[in-house]
Structure 1
């Protein structure tokens, strides 16, 4: 196999892995703040991207405004899910499987809504740039560079937010010890709602970044949820930043599987290797640092 082909596979794997990482990052943020698995997270990414597409194609809005609206809609939708539904389950002391079933059902609902509005067709957003670059023999689109840059900005910003801002520290305190946080005056309900809003934003960003490269459709949600969850678990579900390691690992496994084995088996190979890794490292690659507050 030529080095150029290997370099291209690695570049593609890293690009896809960063998208999975952003989805997994949002899931990890919600889990960190509420200890809930958000099985509708990929659908939030689709809703955000589909909203932006609608604003561009139908309403004829400028791209920057459409993208802003897509992020806002995903954040509002995620927030309303917490306020209108998740809080009710918490008030009734529902078990974990009830929350999981709730988000699974909402995921199917959101997918059906996208299908109803857009049909079965795939829709693309305008790319942030059309330039093509060659790096170490690999062809890199300008959109890929935007994905790398935005992902790095979000990861660094999130780390600083949790470590140095009063609101971020309050969110962490509310997730680690809700009763203790409440006694110090922290509004635990508000902190959990904030984690859902932040998670919705992460989902929308992932959907908006990938849509110029892969057309958005109602079918994208479950795949993004699966890959994002796998990335979050692999990196350590209690540590949002671990999703970066997990996402890139899965993305590279997929791309190298296409080169060495078969494109039809890329998902099976990547997830099989993931199972082996999780058997060897059950807490996730960065799971221990997540429990220490990292």
Structure 2
């Protein structure tokens, strides 16, 4: 095992980890604000990516506008799901199991819809920064991967600032901690819950858009991203969206190091085995009990 091979694995691990982190942060944000485990979080990524592809190739939009359209599509789908389904079930005092079954059903429905309307073929987007690569000690990383990492870090910092420095973010945190108490201060708890789904859809779509220049996105990708995003969220503490960033990068690094240490066929086995061990040793997540309370 050479140093350049390890460095290559680290580059790949951080790149994949950022994607897992974005999906995981969206899932965690939704759970934090609504206590709904969103089993269709990966579908937000597919929706964002497919919308961007269609706007770019079929509608002829400029790339930047197509990316914005894909991200907005994810946010709008998130808002629609909360208003049309989650809010109605919440009024009926549905159980957490019912919400989980709802999101599983929606994930399957959205996957089937993409298959029907878009087809089974995979789709790629042009890489940000062009086709160039950066070579560091014989290890190669694409310029797009550097953009992905930078945007992912920027999104994480922006999310922290949103939760702690904006009125809506602070209201969302208050509603998630004590809904009744927040309502007595004039906070519209139902609206804050809708905003959590908007935020979750936006983050998921962003992850999907950023990964599409690296791997072809098709109707089947959503489940895999949901599993990896959920693992990232659990590793970081399910109620802490920012902890999911730590969990995502950890998961990505474990996967990449498993490939060079064992075999690419066992990367998922190794990654989820490590997840199980971490959960046994640190049931509150990597950041501990304090991290679970974070925002």
Superposed pair shares fold, TM > 0.5: yes
Preserved CA contact (<8 Å) 1:238 1:287: no
Q: State yes or no: 1:216 paired with 2:226.
A: no
Q: Distance in 1 between matches of 2:69 and 2:21?
A: 22
- Aligned equivalent of 2:124: 124
Deviation at 1:73, TM superposition (A): 1.1
Match of 1:108 in 2: 108
Q: Is the 8 A contact 1:239 1:287 kept in 2?
A: no
SS at match of 2:135: strand
| Alignment of 1:201 onto 2:202 | yes
| Counterparts in 2 of 1:292 and 1:247: CA distance versus 1, 3 Å | closer
Is the 2:46–2:218 contact (alpha carbons within 8 Å) kept by the matching residues of 1?
Answer: yes
Q: In the alignment, which residue of structure 2 is the partner of 1:30? A: 30
**Alignment length (residue pairs):** 294
User: Corresponding residue for 1:77?
Assistant: 77
TM-score (norm 1): 0.98
State the distance in 1 between where 2:136 and 2:248 align. 22
Q: Distance in 2 between matches of 1:57 and 1:167?
A: 36
Q: Distance in 2 between matches of 1:253 and 1:137?
A: 21
In structure 2, distance between residues paired with 1:182 and 1:290: 26
Q: Counterpart in 2 of 1:94?
A: 94
Distance 1:9 1:42, change over 3 A: same
Distance 1:135 1:220 in 2: 31
- Please list every run of 5 or more consecutive structure 1 residues that lacks an aligned counterpart in the other structure: none
- Per the alignment, in what secondary structure is the counterpart of residue 141 of structure 2? strand
Cα distance in 2 for partners of 1:12, 1:48 equals: 22
Residue 44 of structure 1 pairs with residue 59 of structure 2: no
3-state SS of the aligned residue for 1:139? Answer: strand
Runs of 4+ residues deviating >6 angstroms: none
> SS at the partner of 1:134?
strand
Give the structure 2 partner of residue 238 of structure 1: 239
State the distance in 1 between where 2:20 and 2:137 align.
24
Q: What are the superposed Cα offsets for residues 204-247 of structure 1, whole Å, 9 maximum, x if unpaired?
A: 10000000110110110000000000000001111111111111
d(CA) in 2 for partners of 1:292, 1:251: 24
| Matches for 1:271-290 after TM superposition, within 5 Å | 271-290=272-291
Partners of 2:57 and 2:82 in 1: CA distance = 31
Structure 2: 5+ residue stretches without partners: none
Maintained 8 Å contact 2:279/2:285? yes
Post-superposition Cα deviations, 1:14-55, rounded to whole Å, max 9, x if no partner, equal 100110001000001111111111110101110110011111
Q: Deviations over 1:98-132 (max 9, x none)?
A: 00000000001111111112222110011111221
